[in-house]
Amino acid sequence: MTTGEKKDPSIGLAEIPGDFSATLGGDDGAVPVPWRASYAISLSVVDGVRLMYVIDHAALTPWAWRVPVDAVRRQAVARMALSAGVLSRGDDRPASSDGGYRWLRMTAFGRSGQRVLPVVGSDEDAALANAFHALIPASVWQLLAERRAEFLAGAASDGGTQRGER
């Protein structure tokens, strides 16, 4: 820590506050125009981890998975998120929907904050995003990729008439 820098009160805590929750989200750029797909990885030390994936198509409901993650891993990622200073260095910019940004929203200690994490950002931003992604097992990411491929194959086979709007 440099001279004059304020230490975030959450850093170094033995326990994560009971009101802690964080969600990392973004646009994954994995579906072609006219659709967009976005994901959100939610972490709660109490409730666990959830992945939500949405393709903006009228015929699809969001896909969601609740993922069992042990408490030690959840707490490690929670500490990492808390130490990133999201609550003390908030970011009011809207997260871009062009795949160029990710965002992290967090609540802890009775406060809430948001931070935009550019895809091509600092090592700290990349490490934080990677830690959230790593909470989701490869098998779930594979299942998501298979479902997305099925959707795209169906959309291509009907000449694009499945283009729905939400």
Q: What is the pLDDT of residues 77-116, one digit of tens each?
A: 999 999 887 777 666 665 554 555 688 999 999 999 888 8
In a domain, 155, yes or no: no
Q: What is the Cα Rg of the chain in Å?
A: 18
pTM metric for this prediction: 0.80
In a domain, 12, yes or no: no
In a domain, 161, yes or no: no
How many structural domains are present in the chain?
A: 1
In a domain, 97, yes or no: yes
Whether the per-residue pLDDT at 11 is higher than 50: the answer is no
In a domain, 154, yes or no: no
Q: What is the pLDDT of residues 127-156, one digit of tens each?
A: 899 999 999 999 999 999 999 999 888 877
- Beta bridge mates, 104: 24, 115
Domain residues for 81?
Answer: 21-147
In a domain, 85, yes or no: yes
What residues contact residue 75 under an 8 Å CB cut-off, 6+ apart?
Answer: 16, 45
In a domain, 6, yes or no: no
Q: What is the pLDDT of residues 17-46, one digit of tens each?
A: 889 999 999 888 888 888 888 999 999 988
Q: Rounded to whole angstroms, how far apart are CA atoms 19 and 39?
A: 23
In a domain, 30, yes or no: yes
